Structure 1
Amino acid sequence: MKIKKGIIFFIGLLFVMNAKAQLPTAQAVAHQMTVGWNLGNTLEAVCGETAWGGAIITQRLIDSVKALGFNTVRIPCAWNCHSHNGVIDSGWLARVKQVVDYCVNDGMYTILNIHWDGGWLENNCTTTAQASVNAKQQNYWTQIANYFNSYDEHLLFASANEPNVSDSVGMCVLLSYHQTFINAVRATGGNNSSRSLIIQGPSTDISKTNSLMNTLPTDNIPNRLMVEIHYYTPYQFCLLAKDASWGNMFYYWGKDYHSATDTIHNATCGEESSLDSAFQLMKTKYVDHGIPVIVGEYAAIKRHLTNPSDEALHLLSRLHFYRYLVCSAKNKGLIPFCWDINMGIFDRSADSVLDRDVVNAIMEGAGKSYVRLSHRASGLPIDGMYRTRSDSNAIQWSNNGTQKWRMLPVGGYMEFENKATGPYLDAMYNYINGSPACQDGDPTTVWRQSGTQKIPIDLVIDWGKEENLIGNLTVKENFPTFKTIDCGKLKSFP
């Protein structure tokens, strides 16, 4: 009897330990993922990191991605061209691990997939190719899962990219590929027994996914699956590079961004209401039933138009597309990942930002465009002063916990606009470090409500839980030397 009790106790202990060892559910992970970024045309390039115009990825680049507000990275990856007789090259696995570590080191969620990879899966969703593709899927995912088994919930695996499926037969085949993926990962045990996994809808198209993917593969652990779709609609606005016989490019997207003169290039379909309806389908079909959905890719190309006013309207329209898409996705519980390649948002070789306007639009759409400002060393909030009009007396911001600031890029500097009431942040400064803070009251040099005083944008931004801007903030103005905003010495807003 004592032996039996001991066995029962041991089995119970193992059960408790196993339960504790499980990674969080897909819903819990998705809740932590805010806005995502694609490391596009890089590790999925056939066959080398720079083969498609990419750059060698560094920790500094990923640090920059995080600093801009992204907390999730999707890493498209090729494996087939890096293997010999079905065995993935150890050097390639090590390089992929290094890039994954860049992301995980920054506390970012990371999605690793088998991307296009020459099309061996996504161009072969047929009954004829089914057996051979499943064998390759099982082989590669067993190797990948084993190699990355020790990673926690910050690493997610995604079965494929854009599997070419348009009917129920192809959908049945695709589900078998996803089932093989899940079975292979789970069979490796350890953290992979409860890791969140992502499966792709047919062609990652919302309409096809809604009509064809009515069941999901079987998983031996509940609540660990996510669904992936992509959004490049309307194609004429997002990707079409020249007018075609069947239709023109769209330069202007959004009901308030149509051209009164270049009317043939106004969008005639796929605008705000269509986008909302498409995302609502995914919310109703999956999110409302506890299955997270990621918009694994979205983008709209930047066009260079001959007429300056046309180009200006196009650029505003493009920013509206990014802002609106992200806002609609977030409101419906979807997680958006912008598609980006080298020399798109970033010059990856120089680790510099090329398209800060798009980043700002994304963060505005995600509700992350407002920040609290605090002193790095003390943690105290920066004191807020404002004016009801330019050159009027400065007024203290009330200490009511609502003070957040929107960062507005102007040239190489930032304006800080108050979220609640609109006036710009006014400047406090010290002539000498440690001296009492003074109001910058000279009418010719004040930090005016009109926004003449700005902060350099090359600051480190911490988009963590407190959303604080950290570092020394320097005001550009007409004094002989730069002045530093006094941080944390007066009554401060939270």
Structure 2
Amino acid sequence: MARVAAMQPGWNLGNTFDAIPDETSWGNPPTTQAMLHYVRSQGYNSIRIPITWSNHHGAAPDYTLDAAWLSRVRQVVDWSLAEGFYVMINLHHDSWQWINGYPGDRTTVMNRYNALWRQLAGTFRDYSQKLVFESINEPQFTGTSGDSESDQVLNELNTAFVRLVRASGGGNATRLLVLPTLYTSSEQARLDALTGTFNQLRDPNLAATVHFYGWWPFSANIAGGTRYDSNVESDLVGGFDRVYNTFVSRGIPVIIGEWALLAYDYTRPGIIERGEFLKYIEAVGYNARIRKLTTMLWDAGSFLERNALRWRDQGIYEMMKASWTVRSGTASSDQVYLPRSGTITARSLTLNLNGTSFQGLRQGSTNLVNGTDYTVSGTTLTLTAAALTRLAGNRAYGVNATIEARFSQGAPWQISIITSDPPTQAAATGTTSSFSIPTQFRGDQLATMEAKYADGSPAGPANWTSYKEFWASFQPDYTANTIILKPEFFAEVNDGRVTLTFHFWSGTKITYYITKSGTTVTGSTT
């Protein structure tokens, strides 16, 4: 428990040594000592180095590890330990590349699995106890009758891993070993199955691991899951409660080996609204901390800009950092929308104090004046018409000013003052493989899209909901002033007329109509 607690917080060197076939194949630069030093300087105490070995070993029966690949892995492990990190290494995408076939070919897969871990255990046998082994990433299996049988299969692999590593002696006799649940899921049945493995092994130096990417509709922005709401909260609390009650309460530590949101990706901006993501970050940090869970951020390049050694969004990092020790206040939104013309009126937001007290508003280094620029009644923060008129400046479309709500502790809450008018759209023609709706966004931002047939039933993929998946079915292009409807969307749309409803963050809703006939698509506002 103490060792895992000392690993908090952790960071994943994602899409690097787990990339296929090698370190830079998925777009990240080679790992440097300077980058590891920077991550350590930012308060991270552990680093998970996911590693895919599939393409870096020889043939049966020895499965000899490629010397150059192993040497490079050792170099980064050595650098990380020299920085003072706890370091976790594993078999990563091997899980779905060949380990998943274990039920149908137990001998071949087990021999390969044991051969890799035997070589790794030997290589790192006398390394510092700050080096940690994780058996398999996100285990999954083909050819079983269902999850219960897959649980049993995973038990065989986890048990073989622990016994092999322990038998290798040296530092491995007491090294911390990390065992995942099936799919690294926090469902109770998966936790119970792993509990059986722990009971069987009776080893005091084991930890459990699960992954956490949040409530799926919010994590992917589908089914209208645009906000950090009670569904997201209850999913988070429920999952963390289950791992606490199943393991931590019994003295078995838990590592959330990966966490983020599935659709949070700097190359696909706008899927997850920034303020809603900040609320999620704050809640993950707090709920993990009070349950003594160690969290390891999944960073495949969306958080740390590895070449420049800076956070892509400093405010997101600040919220994470604060959550390691305290709560932060938030609000119902981080956006206040104002019209381009006409009279500006007062606007209110609800403060989520999270045990803090509200201290005031600031723009840059200037404090706003309570009673003149804003008022607070309970948890209702109201920005006055006069202050908003001043902050809006010349009322150009987009963000005109940013202010900060400050609390007694934690990270400040940024509020963007935005000028917008209802977006406008125009008629269009195209094909199912290339169709865009001309859209003048006029300062507004797209939140989600609904698609319905004439009878009101959902159209397109995921036909159990009218709200389609952001980016997978549709994508705004603010530079080109279009909304793109993807071929994947049309692949599951019947011929005929479909009503689209575009929901914007200002609260504006716009209706648009498309008609599909074979591969031809037309669109209109009426």
Q: TM-score, normalised by structure 1?
A: 0.62
State the 1:237 CA deviation. Answer: 2.1
State the 1:122 CA deviation. Answer: 4.7
Which residue pairs with 1:188 in the alignment?
168
Find the aligned partners of 2:51 and 2:326 in 1 and give their Cα distance: 29
Q: Secondary structure at the match of 2:196?
A: coil
Residue ranges of structure 1 left out of the alignment (5+ in a row): 1-26, 256-268, 371-388, 393-410, 423-494
Find the aligned partners of 1:284 and 1:328 in 2 and give their Cα distance: 13
Give the fraction of aligned pairs with identical amino acids, expressed as a percent.
Answer: 28
Q: Secondary structure at the match of 1:151?
A: coil
* 1:334 maps onto 2:293 in alignment: yes
Which residue pairs with 1:232 in the alignment?
213
- 1:125-164 superposed Cα distances (whole Å, 9 cap, x missing partner): 52x2322221111100010111111211110000000011
Normalized per residue, which structure has more strand? Answer: 2
Contact 2:95–2:138 (Cα < 8 Å) also in 1: no
2:163 maps to amino acid: N
Which of the residues 11, 30, 44 maps onto 2:18?
Answer: 44
Find the aligned partners of 2:125 and 2:271 in 1 and give their Cα distance: 49
Residue 130 and residue 356 in structure 1: after superposition, are their counterparts in 2 closer, same or farther (change >3 A)? farther
Which of the residues 258, 276, 289 maps onto 1:297?
Answer: 258
Residue 184 and residue 170 in structure 1: after superposition, are their counterparts in 2 closer, same or farther (change >3 A)? same
Which residue pairs with 1:197 in the alignment?
177
Which residue pairs with 1:476 in the alignment?
none
* 1:366 maps onto 2:346 in alignment: no
Residue 230 and residue 193 in structure 1: after superposition, are their counterparts in 2 closer, same or farther (change >3 A)? same
Which residue pairs with 1:260 in the alignment?
none
Residue 368 and residue 43 in structure 1: after superposition, are their counterparts in 2 closer, same or farther (change >3 A)? farther
2:25 maps to amino acid: A
1:324 maps to amino acid: A
Q: Secondary structure at the match of 2:156?
A: helix
* 1:216 maps onto 2:197 in alignment: yes
Q: Would you say how many aligned residue pairs link Structure 1 and Structure 2?
A: 335
Contact 1:232–1:239 (Cα < 8 Å) also in 2: no
Contact 1:69–1:368 (Cα < 8 Å) also in 2: no
State the 1:340 CA deviation. Answer: 0.6
Q: Secondary structure at the match of 1:84?
A: coil
Contact 2:18–2:93 (Cα < 8 Å) also in 1: yes
Which residue pairs with 1:346 in the alignment?
304
State the 1:285 CA deviation. Answer: 0.7
Contact 1:156–1:198 (Cα < 8 Å) also in 2: yes
Bigger shift: 211-220 or 279-288?
Answer: 211-220
State the 1:31 CA deviation. Answer: 2.4
* 1:123 maps onto 2:112 in alignment: no
Which residue pairs with 1:252 in the alignment?
227
Q: Secondary structure at the match of 1:296?
A: strand
Find the aligned partners of 1:219 and 1:150 in 2 and give their Cα distance: 27
- 1:213-232 superposed Cα distances (whole Å, 9 cap, x missing partner): 34115787731100110112
User: Considering only aligned residues, what root-mean-square deviation do their CA atoms show, in Å?
Assistant: 3.4
State the 1:254 CA deviation. Answer: 3.0
Q: Secondary structure at the match of 2:207?
A: strand
* 1:316 maps onto 2:275 in alignment: yes
Find the aligned partners of 1:145 and 1:345 in 2 and give their Cα distance: 32
Residue 350 and residue 419 in structure 1: after superposition, are their counterparts in 2 closer, same or farther (change >3 A)? closer
- 1:344-399 superposed Cα distances (whole Å, 9 cap, x missing partner): 111212222212222212122211699xxxxxxxxxxxxxxxxxx9999xxxxxxx
Which of the residues 60, 64, 70 maps onto 1:93?
Answer: 70
* 1:33 maps onto 2:3 in alignment: no
Contact 2:151–2:193 (Cα < 8 Å) also in 1: yes
Find the aligned partners of 1:107 and 1:179 in 2 and give their Cα distance: 30
Which residue pairs with 1:432 in the alignment?
none
Residue 205 and residue 221 in structure 1: after superposition, are their counterparts in 2 closer, same or farther (change >3 A)? closer
Bigger shift: 352-361 or 200-209?
Answer: 352-361
Contact 2:207–2:254 (Cα < 8 Å) also in 1: yes
Contact 1:44–1:117 (Cα < 8 Å) also in 2: no
Q: Secondary structure at the match of 1:53?
A: coil
State the 1:302 CA deviation. Answer: 3.6
Which residue pairs with 2:384 in the alignment?
none
Residue 180 and residue 305 in structure 1: after superposition, are their counterparts in 2 closer, same or farther (change >3 A)? closer
Residue 180 and residue 77 in structure 1: after superposition, are their counterparts in 2 closer, same or farther (change >3 A)? same
Find the aligned partners of 2:200 and 2:36 in 1 and give their Cα distance: 33
Residue ranges of structure 2 left out of the alignment (5+ in a row): 329-361, 368-400, 413-526
Contact 1:138–1:184 (Cα < 8 Å) also in 2: yes
Q: Secondary structure at the match of 1:83?
A: coil
1:107 maps to amino acid: G
* 1:152 maps onto 2:128 in alignment: yes
Q: Secondary structure at the match of 1:94?
A: helix
Q: Secondary structure at the match of 1:135?
A: helix
State the 1:49 CA deviation. Answer: 0.3
2:288 maps to amino acid: A
Find the aligned partners of 1:48 and 1:305 in 2 and give their Cα distance: 21
Residue 391 and residue 141 in structure 1: after superposition, are their counterparts in 2 closer, same or farther (change >3 A)? closer
Contact 2:89–2:134 (Cα < 8 Å) also in 1: yes
Contact 1:158–1:198 (Cα < 8 Å) also in 2: yes
Contact 1:210–1:285 (Cα < 8 Å) also in 2: yes
Find the aligned partners of 2:240 and 2:325 in 1 and give their Cα distance: 18
Which of the residues 87, 90, 114 maps onto 1:113?
Answer: 90
Contact 2:117–2:165 (Cα < 8 Å) also in 1: yes
Q: TM-score, normalised by structure 2?
A: 0.58
Find the aligned partners of 2:266 and 2:288 in 1 and give their Cα distance: 28
Find the aligned partners of 1:331 and 1:355 in 2 and give their Cα distance: 26
1:225 maps to amino acid: L
Residue 290 and residue 313 in structure 1: after superposition, are their counterparts in 2 closer, same or farther (change >3 A)? closer
State the 1:75 CA deviation. Answer: 0.6
1:277 maps to amino acid: G
Residue 281 and residue 52 in structure 1: after superposition, are their counterparts in 2 closer, same or farther (change >3 A)? same
State the 1:337 CA deviation. Answer: 0.9
Residue 67 and residue 142 in structure 1: after superposition, are their counterparts in 2 closer, same or farther (change >3 A)? same
Q: Secondary structure at the match of 1:87?
A: coil
Contact 2:13–2:300 (Cα < 8 Å) also in 1: yes
Find the aligned partners of 2:102 and 2:183 in 1 and give their Cα distance: 10
Residue 335 and residue 100 in structure 1: after superposition, are their counterparts in 2 closer, same or farther (change >3 A)? same
Contact 2:327–2:409 (Cα < 8 Å) also in 1: no
The structure with higher relative contact order (CA 8 Å, sep 6+) is: 1
Find the aligned partners of 1:291 and 1:278 in 2 and give their Cα distance: 16
Which residue pairs with 1:174 in the alignment?
154
- 1:88-107 superposed Cα distances (whole Å, 9 cap, x missing partner): 01111110011112211111
- 1:54-74 superposed Cα distances (whole Å, 9 cap, x missing partner): 110001111111111111111
Q: Secondary structure at the match of 2:24?
A: coil
Residue 169 and residue 221 in structure 1: after superposition, are their counterparts in 2 closer, same or farther (change >3 A)? closer
Q: Secondary structure at the match of 1:191?
A: helix
* 1:139 maps onto 2:119 in alignment: no
Residue 133 and residue 353 in structure 1: after superposition, are their counterparts in 2 closer, same or farther (change >3 A)? same
